[in-house]
Amino acid sequence: MTRIIAVLGALMAGTVFAVTDDASAVLERLKSPATVCVMGDPCSENIGQATTTVATSRSGEDVYNGACAACHNSGAAGAPKLADAAGWAGRVDKGMDTLVKHVVEGYNAMPAMGLCADCSEQEITDAVAFMVDSL
């Protein structure tokens, strides 16, 4: 057993010492992946420029199914049920702006943004329109 360990050690030592790299290759491997770019450096041409991102918007129905359905299918905490004209009657009369405002800011038992933390106001508006259109 001692002989096997000695042979393995010799092989490993030989491999380590047999590798010869020039100093620039070693420094390249040790370089940090992070870089700092300051004004005036060649990399600074893009500093301050806005990046373009493609925003994907969910449909009103998608937002409803993902965030609103839990309460508006069951009527939890007095939420008007989807397609229940009687339950929505007094609310719809106040207008879409008020309905959307109540969802965005919260109103009575309705939590702000309907608990959809990642929804945009447009997505909320579309979800409210989806529910009103079901009447």
pLDDT: which is higher, 5 or 97: 97
* The CATH number of the domain covering residues in 60-133: 1.10.760.10
Reported as a single tens digit per residue, the pLDDT across 51-89 is 555 557 899 999 999 999 999 999 999 999 999 999 999
Domain ranges of the chain: 60-133
pTM: 0.60
- Exposure string over 35-71, b if 16+ CB within 10 A, otherwise e: eeeeeeeeeeeeeeeeeeeeeeebebbebbeebbeeb
User: What's residue 30's pLDDT?
Assistant: 75
User: What's residue 56's pLDDT?
Assistant: 72
Residue reference for tokens 């992946």: 33
